[in-house]
Amino acid sequence: MPGQRAKSAKCRLAILLGLSWIIFSLVVPAWAEVINFKELLPFVDIKIPGWTMEGKASGATLKQGAVMVSEARVSFKAGSQTLEVIIMDFLGKTIPFLTGQQLQMESTEETVRTTEVQGFKAFETFRHQDKQGELNISVADRFWVKIDGEGIDNLEVLKNVAQQMELKKLATLAK
C-alpha cells in the first residue's frame, strides 16, 4: 500500500510539526537552518544482520515560520518483529526528558530509564506485555535519534542498532 504509507508519513510529519511547535516553542534565530534530510539519510541507511529493510530510507525537511524540522527514517522487519529508525533535527532543542537528573522506573507494565549510548544521553522504555520498546538518543544536543521496536523480547536489539550507527559522525553536522 504505497499510497497509504505516503499518507501515513505525511500525517506523522504534520503531527511532528504540531508537536515541535508546542514542545519547542522558542523562536529560532533567523540565521539557523536545519540540516536537509538528504544529509541525514546516510545515517539511517544501515544494514542490520538478520533484518530486512522495508522499502528504502526516506525523509523530509519542513519549514513554517520559525518552526523548522528535518527527519530521515527507515523501517526493518524480521519475522513478526519490526524496527523503525528515525533521526530528527530540531535545531538543538533538547529532548525534554533528557534535561534533568537520572531517571529509573520499573513497574509490571514497563521499564523506563535514562542511559548513555556512544557517550550521548539517552532514554529507554520497554513495555513488557506489548513487547514494545524505544530508545531515544540526544546527539550533540541537536539531533534526536529514535529507535522503535515491536515484537521484541528486550531492548538489546535497539541498543545493538544504535551501536551500529555513526552517531559521532552525525554529531559533526551540529553547528
Q: Is the pLDDT of residue 21 over 80?
A: no
- Residues belonging to the chain: 175
pLDDT tens digits for range 121-175 = 999 999 999 999 999 999 988 899 999 999 999 999 999 999 999 999 999 998 7
Map out the domains of the chain as residue ranges: 2-171
Q: CB under 8 Å to 112, separation ≥6 — which residues?
A: 103, 104, 105, 106, 123, 124, 125
Share of the chain above pLDDT 70, in %: 76
pLDDT band per the 50, 70, 90 thresholds, residue 68: confident
CA distance 55 to 149: 17
Q: Is the pLDDT of residue 30 over 60?
A: no
Report pTM: 0.79
